[in-house]
Amino acid sequence: MDYLALYVTLKLAVVTTVLLMIIAAPIAYVLAYYRFAGKSLLEALIYLPIALPPTVIGFYLIIFMGPKGFIGRIWEMLTGGSLLFTFIGIAIASVIYSIPFAVQPMKAAFSKIDRRLLESAYVLGLSKKATFFRVIIPNSASGIAAAAILVFLHSIGAFGVLLMVGGSIPGETRVASIAIYEAVEMMNYQAAAMMALSFIPISYAFLLLINKLNEARS
């Protein structure tokens, strides 16, 4: 069994989840509370990764993150290295691939909060930022937890995007889903079976947790 690949998978999932919680919160806040021109266009753009085939996302990421791409060139200027085939590269890919799964539940949780609670906080002297941390976040904790779990599970399952952007470098970009695929390709069914099996309890436990959170919310 390829423990290194399992380790990379978990590391990627944790990094993606943490990053996305920080990135998605302000986006969800804006989508939940502000009205502006082009909002629905922006929202659809954020949810686009759900609708696109992973290989299409992977293709564009290669274009942007490659040595001639916009992001790739900035990265090379800063570090002198390439983004493709690195852990940071697949982390960026994973964040973009999972962004809808973070924004959507968070936005739903934020919109559910009664506006009068926010107004009450403003009248009590809290700035918008303080209200976000003292009122909105604690009152949407279960929605945020659901978002985190969804992102975590979704990034464990990523395959096509990561394969295109990161390839399969052991310890760096070879995640478990890729390792399973390669094991099957090499007719090593026993290794594939072990790794495949290790996914089931993790995913199942997290799904149970999501259902519990949803029950608590309603």
Interface residues with another protein (CB under 8 A)? 114, 116-117, 119-127, 135, 138-139, 141
Q: Pick the closer one to another protein by CB: 78 or 123.
A: 123
Q: Pick the closer one to another protein by CB: 11 or 112.
A: 112
Q: Pick the closer one to another protein by CB: 91 or 135.
A: 135
Cα(125)–Cα(84) distance, integer angstroms: 48
Yes or no: say if 206 and 152 are a contact pair by the CB < 8 Å rule.
yes
Q: Pick the closer one to another protein by CB: 57 or 144.
A: 144
Yes or no: say if 178 and 140 are a contact pair by the CB < 8 Å rule.
no
Name the residue among 201, 123, 118 with its Cα closest to residue 156: 201
CA distances from 92 to 16, 33, 72, 165 (A): 8, 27, 12, 10
CB of 123 to another protein, least distance (A): 5
CB of 132 to another protein, least distance (A): 13
CB of 37 to another protein, least distance (A): 21
Q: Pick the closer one to another protein by CB: 94 or 140.
A: 140
CB of 212 to another protein, least distance (A): 18
CB of 22 to another protein, least distance (A): 21
Cα(82)–Cα(168) distance, integer angstroms: 15
Cβ-proximal residues to 178 (8 Å cutoff; 6+ apart), any chain: 5, 159, 162, 163, 168
Cα(218)–Cα(36) distance, integer angstroms: 30
CA distances from 76 to 45, 80, 81, 171 (A): 27, 4, 5, 22
